[in-house]
Every structure is written in structure tokens, then in C-alpha cells.
Amino acid sequence: MTKLRLAIVGAGPAGIYAADILLKAEKAFDVSIDLFDALPAPYGLVRYGVAPDHPRIKGIINALREVLDRGDIRIFGNVKFGTDITLDDLKRHYNAVIFATGAVKDADLAIPGIELDGSYGAAEFVSWFDGHPDYPRSWPLEAREVAVIGNGNVALDVSRILAKHADDLLVTEIPDNVYAGLKESPVTDVHVFGRRGPTSVKFTPLELRELGELRDVDIIVYDEDFDYDDAARAAVSGNKQVFVIDKVLNQWRQREVGQASRRLHLHFFAKPVEVVEAIENGQPTGRVGAFRFERTAPDGEGGVVGTGEIREIPIQAIYRAVGYFGSPLSAVPFDKKRGVIPNREGQVLVKDPETGTSQQMYGVYATGWIKRGPVGLIGHTKSDAMETVRHLINDVGNWWSPEQPSEESVVTMLDERGIRYTDLDGWHNLDEHEKALGAGQGRERIKVVPREEMVDISTGTQARA
């Protein structure tokens, strides 16, 4: 039986699903899979990219946990591709590699003033409040009035966490330093801006409903945004999700507001124009002072056009939530414009420097957001992985021929390089430790944040609570 030694770089849903699909579907090969991740713990954006007050995420994590706990996939955490291991290393030990590194950086918003102090990427803020080990432990929560640019689920996550009272997050796995930071926040108003109308939003009805459940927070929508054209009315009547979103928003229009200590404003038909610098005593401060936007209007075809009307709202901080963007990988082709690895249905493509034509880079594959860009939900990730795995199997004649294909050789390589990697047992150690920390406060878990502490606990070099 043909042996397939496969490396997967990225232990989030995309990488885990790819491994699971291959192991369940492939009977013609003797499959052995090693999963590498730069972080000491698995699950990627499910652990570090989703707000902690989303209970449905537990179901996704439980499904991923079941796959890993079968024991037929090895995990090497705290191993960085490009430094700890390279593409040449993978060729030496494996027949092929699938990159499932996702998209974790913020997409740019090219407007004047976006570089001012007090302007942040939503992805960085999410990483902070989710306890990502590679981000600072503190966050400058000093603004009373905040703008969030974007109309997707990440924008709503950021807005909800900013507006929500910190004590209401204590039932979640929020790290202690994050709770302390949010507890001191002086925020009174969070403004969410979207370029299009209410029927063109990218967030889901579930995300929207969660806003309406915030304690001591008024949700404010504006009547001027609900003068629908025929295209908007058709969207409401022809799409169940749009229908539900429209229903929720119109219910909020009927609410009485003015009693809460915090307010969350939803502004539609607002195109970003400029982040205005604050002026004090006639001098520029280098800090965010206001958000300037152009009022848009429906174009009759589902889009919008500018009206020329410019408005301005005072703010002291702004978060851009206009999408995620992938990061380049050493020795792997990268599309700088789209933020993905160039590929054809998961088969990585490389340009011939002489002819300019794209050719398949045999043995190298991609899945998830680094393959298709930051769009789609978990269901898309599964179908994405199936497509990539199918091509991997069909390319059997073009796999690499590794010089050292044994499973032990990889462990030897990492040990010789002094890399403190974590494995499945290590993840169980960390998982139990975090749950024990939470149990002491009546919570399900409290995340450990510092990387070295995570590794210490995982490898058993530090006493567990």
C-alpha cells in the first residue's frame, strides 16, 4: 500500500477538517498526518478570533476536539513555519503539504487620518480580548465615543465587546487582564458605520440579535436609513436572512431609548471619508478626534452612490473591521493583492519567471482562507477542504519523494533544533489547567495568555493549578 506522509501547516478548522476528511475518505493509501501550528494551542480563529460570549462556538470546538482526540493526527504546536521549519524541511520528511494558515491580519482602509493615534485594526483588538499570546496584555480603552467601520460579524463582535459591561463577560473564558481593561473603559457611545443600507449587511441575524440582548445598552437606529428602494424591498421579500435582519432592525426602531448608560448606534449609508485629527489649543494632537463620512443613497440596483453630503461625528477611537488579510509564507507563492496563496482549487500555482504563465507547484496545496480569502463560514471550510484533498489524492504521481519519511525523524529534527513544541497530550494539560482556573471562580475556563506559560504547562515543566 502506498504511504502518504502529509504535513498540514495550521491547526485551525481548515487544517483539522482537511486531515479528518483525508483520513476518513482515503482507503488506497496508508495515511500519516502531522499538524503544525505557530501557537501552542490548536483551533486557530475559533480560539483566537471569535468573541468569548458566543456559546455556539463551543459546539465547533467540541467537533474539532473529537477529531484530534481520536489520536490518528499528530500535533506539533509552538512551531513556526519559515523559521522553526521550512519548506525544504517538509520536502525532506513528507510527500506533500497543505497550508491552512488562514487570514489573521486586518485589511487596509485607505482614507486620510487612518494612521492617527487611536486608530486600530479590529483583528488586533479581537486578538487582545481573546487572549492571543503574541499581543500586548493591555489595550488603550480611553475613548468615550468610538467608531467601528464595517457591517460584518467582526464589526458587530468588536462593537458588542466595546459596549458590553465587563461584568457581563465574567461567565465567559475572558482572560483576567482583558476583564480588568474593559472594566475601566469610559465608553458611552459606540457608532457602527456601513457604506450600504440595512438590506446589504454582511452580518448574520444571530449576531444582530445578540446586540439587542446587551444589558444597560440602548441600540439606536435611524429612520432615515429605512427609506427602501425597489431593490431593497425585493431583497427583504426574497431572502429569509435579509427578512429576519430587517424585522429585527424595525423592531428596534420602535424601542424607547434614553435610559441606558451606554448606547450602540447603527449608521447605514455612510461611506468613510476621513479620520479627523483632534485639535487642542489650536494645535494638532496626532490623535483621533472625529470621523467624517459621506452620506450614500441606493442606486436602484442594490448598490449605492455618493450624495455629496458630508457628515462628522466626534470620536476618540476608531476600529476598522473591513476584512481580514492573509500573510505571505516563506518560499511559497503569494498574491499580494488578494492576500492568498495563488491556487487552482487548492493546487498551489507558481509563475514561470520567463513565460509569466502559472504552473502547478507539485506537492504544495492550500485550504481555508489562505486559499479563497476571508469569506464564508465553517460549512464553506469543509467543502473547501474536500476540494483540496481530492486534488491531493489525484496528484499521487507528482508527490515529493522524502529522504527521511519516518515519523521519528520529524521529532528528532525538532529536538535537535531545541524547539519547545507542544503535542496532543500537552494541549490536554493546558485545557485542564484553564478549566481548573475557571472552576476556582465558578467559570468554565480562564485562558492562559503568555506563550511561555502555555508551553510550560503543556510540557509539564510548570506545576498545574
Mean pLDDT by 10 residues, the chain (465 residues): 94 96 87 98 93 81 94 97 98 98 94 98 96 95 98 95 97 93 98 97 92 96 96 96 97 93 98 98 97 96 93 98 96 96 98 89 97 82 94 96 97 98 97 95 92 97 54
Bridge partners of residue 364, in order along the sequence: 97
CB 113 within 8 A of CB 276: yes
Does this model's pTM top 0.85? My answer is yes
Instruction: Choose the CATH number for 105-324 among 3.50.50.60, 3.20.20.60, 3.30.420.140, 3.30.420.40.
Output: 3.50.50.60
pLDDT for residue 462:
59
CA-CA distance, 183 to 223, in Å (whole number)? 33
The answer to whether the 2-103+328-421 and 105-324 domains have the same CATH topology is no
Compute the radius of gyration of the chain from its Cα atoms: 24
139: closest CA among 103, 81, 183, 101? 183
CA-CA distance, 118 to 1, in Å (whole number)? 59
235: closest CA among 298, 283, 151? 298
pLDDT for residue 56:
73
pLDDT for residue 155:
96
Distances (CA, A) of 379 to 9, 375, 383, 386: 20, 11, 7, 11
Instruction: Choose the CATH number for 2-103+328-421 among 3.40.50.720, 3.30.460.10, 3.40.50.300, 3.20.20.150.
Output: 3.40.50.720
pLDDT for residue 327:
96
pLDDT for residue 27:
78
Domain ranges of the chain: 2-103+328-421, 105-324
CA-CA distance, 342 to 252, in Å (whole number)? 44
The length of the chain is 465
Residue 450: alpha-carbon gap to chain centroid: 20
pLDDT for residue 354:
82
pLDDT for residue 81:
98
123: closest CA among 112, 114, 135, 113? 135
